[in-house]
Amino acid sequence: MSKAREAKAAKIRQLMETEGDAVGTSTRGFNEGRYESVQTLDDYEGLKSEARAIKEDAIERLPELLDQLRETVEANGGTLYIADDDADANRYIREVCEDKDAERVVKSKSMTSEEIEVNHELEAADIDVVETDLGEWVLQVADDSPSHIVAPAIHKSREAIADLFNETFEPDEPLETAEELTMFAREQLGELIEDADVGMTGANFITADTGTMALVTSEGNARKTAVVPDTHVAVAGVEKIIPTVEDLQPFVELIGKSGTGQDITSYISLLTPPVESPTVDFDDPDTPLTETETDREFHLVLIDNGRMDMRDDDQLRETLYCIRCSACSNVCANFQHVGGHAFGGETYSGGIGTGWEAGVEGLDTAAEFNDLCTGCSRCTTACPVEIDIPWINTVVRDRVNRGEASEVDWLVEGLTPDEEPGGVSLQKRFFGNFETAAKVGSFFAPLSNWASQLSVSRDLMERFLGIDARRELPAFQRETLKDWFDARNSHVENPTRTAVLYPDVYTNHVQVERGKAAVRALEALGVDVVVPDVRSSGRAPLSQGMIATAEDHAHDVYAGLAEHIDDGRDIVVIEPSDLAMFQTEYEKFLPEKSFQRISEASYEVMEYVFGLLENGVDADALATTDSEEVAYHSHCQQRTLGLEGHTEAVLSRLGYDVVTSDVECCGMAGSFGYKSEYYELSVDVGSELQGQFQTDETKHRTVVASGTSCLEQLDSLLRRPSQHPIQLVAPQR
Amino acid sequence: MSTGTVATFEDSLERLEVGWTHTSVDGLADVLNEVCDEPTVGVELPYDGVELPSWVNTDPTPADLRAANAGITAAGIGIADYGSVVVQGTPDGVEPVSLFADRHVAVLKESDIVPGMPEAFEWLGEEFRTGHSSAIIATGPSATADMGALVKGAHGPKDVHVVILDE
Ligand code: SF4
């Protein structure tokens, strides 16, 4: 393994051991909470679209809204400062504190202030800064950094916090329970807040019409921070502005549900500072509040720090719609296992972290963890503002590729049939051009399989391509699906429909049996099947960030399928990740009309079978059973497309007794598990699926899975074989 | 407002484990006596014919706030779907009184309960445009899970009680 890969693998391994359990327990809890909580909404999808529309509009009109906000804030008696970057913001904030002769600033949690590292600036000016969010305070005491955007100390267990407090503060009685720790922190922080001179908060949203900021919290520390001292500084990115108070509504309903799975957080503070509440001056404990001189001062500091450039960037712009709810981190299987210390940059972490870091810090920082996004797409339906997070990560990956110093260009340039510049790493090129490897592999099979298994080959593959020697390689079939299909004579009398079975790379070269099964099943149901010669979908290069190559595939695939669509044929796809290309990513690559045609004509194979059965085709043509027990694992992209249920429905109708896995992801996600730096993480993530299929209820069940990666992962995790569901239901010949 | 909305509000409070009492203007003093331990601080309620009992300290100092067991304030509206009360900051100290004591007692009129967030924000928009400078949508007690398990009463009240006034 190369040094860099070795180092990355070691870091991931260490974090899985030390922080993985704590992060996993909390994020999974948040995620399950989200599933439950969004069910209480009458129209979850509608609310999300509304939230997105508000953000789209606000970012579009940002300059105008900034002007309006300046007017309202000033009319209210506050000050608005727009800072170009972190240094500018820090200087301004320090000067405000110095003008007040502030000795202590109390802060409530804010990612933007983490981004600019304002604590350093203030501490250097001898101003004491105290984090009042309990999680942030734990990190401050421990001199540690946040690992999650909403729950910053998520990686610390209760025991670790107890040890930390007991060592640092030496309380009379050692602290132990969560209750004791919380009350201890409440007391300590309460005193620190009482004689603070300046309160600093973030702002989740700011409305341009009234200058009202919304703070979403549960602890109440933001309330105290904003109300106790007479000076309030709020720090936020310029993207936090929305037009009106009414526009807050969808966000208030979505943010807690999406993030921690609470219906709503305990407090949503809506403040139009300087607020009318009297200051609470604990230095003067005996003067009634109503007689306290209240001369409040308010400074709103909005930070650009790369955001206006992101706004001009057609690909990164969507990142600005993010409301930092953390749903994309919580749903992410890889994040659940390593947390933000591996899956994060200088400030931001998780799915959308790459977009933020690319925008505010630069590509180098984003590159450090960008590859941890496997593009599984589970986050896209979790995001309350409908951001296509995997796409942003792919774009950043592409840009990183283009900027990367070349490894061995002279070796690959001209040999690989892709559209990429020289910088793309050999590993990425190999996986991105898997179609070529598969063609060669099948042509020389079984020799190629034998040769690739030799230890000397595995060594070379590991050294040059970073393909982990512990992962079993796919075995190429000498006879491809296309060869098999062309060589056989099939004829369906009076077909009800005609379908094109899309020969994806894996089905054509490796998992040929599932392709044959699909042909048999469809023919048995009265469908005339065609297997054309069409290029691979482009999923492989896309997941390596090779966008130009993927786009090239998209055009070829469309060209290859267009005449079939013209003839009214349905496109049936076995591999869900390819179907997802046709139905989502191709929108970026094809003219609108073409995209619509291909996405509307294409079906997942079990979805198609379901449709046929629904339309009255006789199910007895398939392999029925009475109560054969099956353990079924759907596929991430299939679930994102909402197609998991069709397989369950078909299996149930044919008499199978189905148990479905409910893990977010198998952990393999395409080429990810082959890469030596990620192999162990892939196995760790997979262990959850493994666990679900080895309980007393499931361990004897027949295993079926829809995706290639899932099948490979399951094959290596379980002792019993797995197959695609179509193989189970297809007539044997 | 329909009785359905009030029932939904009460169900939501139940789910949050927030206590609630339905009472008339005349019964208010007794209810407060029951749900508040002394010392209690409070802010006069803006409802016709309603006055806080004399044992409620309505002109608290910071020291009183710190020592209070309960803090009584009005709530502008209640939000049925969520069991939230909207507490508006005023110069006489609604915000600190609702924040520092261990128990927050929020009093609202039955007719001020709205079904959901859309109605709440219509109302809030109006309030903010016509001069109110702050409001808190408060749902249940303050809470944190940062120390490894859910604990009520992180920085704010550990407990909330809602009093619904019939008219
Ligand atoms: S990208 Fe979406 S899901 Fe992720 S933090 Fe932002 S708003 Fe939440």
Residue A22 distance to chain B (closest CA, Å)? 9
Q: Is the CB of residue A365 less than 8 Å from the CB of residue A318?
A: no
Instruction: Decide: A373 in ligand 1 pocket, CB within 6 A.
Output: no
State residue A407's pLDDT score: 41
Instruction: Decide: A255 in ligand 1 pocket, CB within 6 A.
Output: no
Q: Is the CB of residue A202 less than 8 Å from the CB of residue A217?
A: no
Per-residue pLDDT of A461-517, as tens digits, reads 676 777 777 777 777 778 899 999 999 877 788 898 999 999 998 899 988 999 999
Give CA A638 to chain center in angstroms: 16
| Residue boundaries of the structural domains of chain B | 3-165
- Residue A367 in tokens: 């590159």
Q: Is the CB of residue A526 less than 8 Å from the CB of residue A618?
A: no
Segments in chain A below pLDDT 50:
404-415
Q: What is the interface pTM, i.e. ipTM, of the complex? A: 0.97
B141 chain-A contacts, CB cut-off 8 A: 266
- Residue A715 in tokens: 């094959």
Residues A347, A360: Cα–Cα separation, whole Å: 10
Question: Which of A151, A210, A266 is closest, CB to CB, to B143?
Answer: A266
Relative orientation angle of helices A353-360 and A389-403, to the nearest 10 degrees: 50
> Is the CB of residue B120 less than 8 Å away from at least one CB of chain A?
yes
Residues A377, A637: Cα–Cα separation, whole Å: 6
Question: Which of A159, A219, A294 is closest, CB to CB, to B155?
Answer: A219
- Cβ atoms within 10 Å of B59's Cβ, excluding its own: 15
Per-residue pLDDT of A231-249, as tens digits, reads 999 999 999 999 999 999 9
Residue B45 distance to chain A (closest CA, Å)? 16
Residues A235, A298: Cα–Cα separation, whole Å: 11
**How big is the A-B interface in CB pairs under 8 Å?**
200
Per-residue pLDDT of A145-180, as tens digits, reads 999 999 999 999 999 999 999 999 999 999 999 999
Q: Kindly indicate whether the domain formed by B3-165 is annotated with CATH number 3.40.50.10420.
A: yes
Residues A388, A399: Cα–Cα separation, whole Å: 17
Cis status, amide bond into A495, omega within 30 of 0: no
Looking at residue A339, its amino acid is: G
Residue with tokens 């309330």: A223
Using the beta-carbon criterion (under 8 Å), do B146 and A151 form an inter-chain contact? yes
Residues A709, A313: Cα–Cα separation, whole Å: 33
State residue A422's pLDDT score: 61
Q: Is the CB of residue A185 less than 8 Å from the CB of residue B147?
A: yes
Residues A342, A354: Cα–Cα separation, whole Å: 12
Helix, strand, or coil here: A60? helix
> Is the CB of residue B60 less than 8 Å away from at least one CB of chain A?
yes
Question: Which of A138, A224, A263 is closest, CB to CB, to B155?
Answer: A224
What is the DSSP code (8-state) at residue A268? E
Q: Is the CB of residue A378 less than 8 Å from the CB of residue A333?
A: yes
The phi and psi torsions of B11 (rounded to 5 degrees) equal: -60, -45
- Residue A79 in tokens: 């000050």
- Strand ranges inside A44-180, DSSP E: 79-83, 104-107, 128-131
Q: Which of A47, A161, A165, A182 to mutate to test the interface with B (most CBs of B within 10 A)?
A: A182
Helix, strand, or coil here: A497? strand
Using the beta-carbon criterion (under 8 Å), do B120 and A276 form an inter-chain contact? no
State residue A415's pLDDT score: 46
Q: Is the CB of residue A567 less than 8 Å from the CB of residue A556?
A: no
Name the CA radius of gyration of chain A, rounded. Answer: 28
Instruction: Decide: A105 in ligand 1 pocket, CB within 6 A.
Output: no
Q: Is the CB of residue A341 less than 8 Å from the CB of residue A121?
A: no
Helix, strand, or coil here: A397? helix
Element (H, E) at A103: none
> Mean pLDDT of residues grouped by 10 in chain B (167 residues)?
84 96 95 95 94 95 94 97 96 94 97 97 95 91 87 91 94
State residue A421's pLDDT score: 63
pTM: 0.93
Question: Which of A207, A219, A272 is closest, CB to CB, to B142?
Answer: A219
Helix, strand, or coil here: A425? coil
State residue A667's pLDDT score: 85
> Is the CB of residue B155 less than 8 Å away from at least one CB of chain A?
yes
Nearest to A186 by CA among B88, B136, B99: B99
Cα angle A266-A269-A274, degrees, rounded to a multiple of 5: 155
**Could you tell me which chain B residue has the CA closest to the CA of A263?**
B82
State residue A2's pLDDT score: 79
Q: Which of A175, A204, A277, A330 to mutate to test the interface with B (most CBs of B within 10 A)?
A: A277
What is the DSSP code (8-state) at residue A629? E
Cα angle A61-A63-A68, degrees, rounded to a multiple of 5: 90
DSSP secondary structure of A560-612 = HHHHHHHTTPEEEES-HHHHHIIIIIHHHHS-HHHHHHHHHHEEEHHHHHHHH
- Residue A668 in tokens: 């393999």
- Residue B118 in tokens: 């859309």
What are the strands of the beta sheet with A527-530, ordered from one edge? A527-530, A497-502, A570-573, A602-604
| Helix ranges (DSSP H) in A174-326 | 178-194, 221-227, 248-259, 307-312
Residue B165 distance to chain A (closest CA, Å)? 23
State residue A489's pLDDT score: 78
B120 chain-A contacts, CB cut-off 8 A: 249
* Domains of chain A, each with CATH number or no CATH: 24-308 (3.40.50.10420), 481-729 (no CATH)
Which ligand 1 atom minimizes the distance to the CA of A321?
7
Burial class (CB within 10 angstroms; exposed 0-12, middle 13-18, buried 19+) of A721: exposed
Per-residue pLDDT of B82-127, as tens digits, reads 999 999 999 999 999 999 999 999 999 999 999 999 999 999 999 9
What are the strands of the beta sheet with B77-79, ordered from one edge? A241-242, A205-207, A213-217, A267-271, B134-138, B84-88, B77-79, B113-114
Using the beta-carbon criterion (under 8 Å), do B147 and A134 form an inter-chain contact? yes
State residue A550's pLDDT score: 95
State residue B165's pLDDT score: 96
Nearest to B146 by CA among A149, A35, A202, A181: A181
Residues A19, B103: Cα–Cα separation, whole Å: 36
| Helix ranges (DSSP H) in A105-220 | 111-116, 118-124, 134-142, 158-169, 178-194
A289 chain-B contacts, CB cut-off 8 A: 59-62, 65, 92-93, 96
Instruction: Decide: A382 in ligand 1 pocket, CB within 6 A.
Output: yes
Residues A242, B69: Cα–Cα separation, whole Å: 39
- Cβ atoms within 10 Å of A362's Cβ, excluding its own: 14
State residue A435's pLDDT score: 74
- Residue A453 in tokens: 């298994």
- Residue A90 in tokens: 């820090």
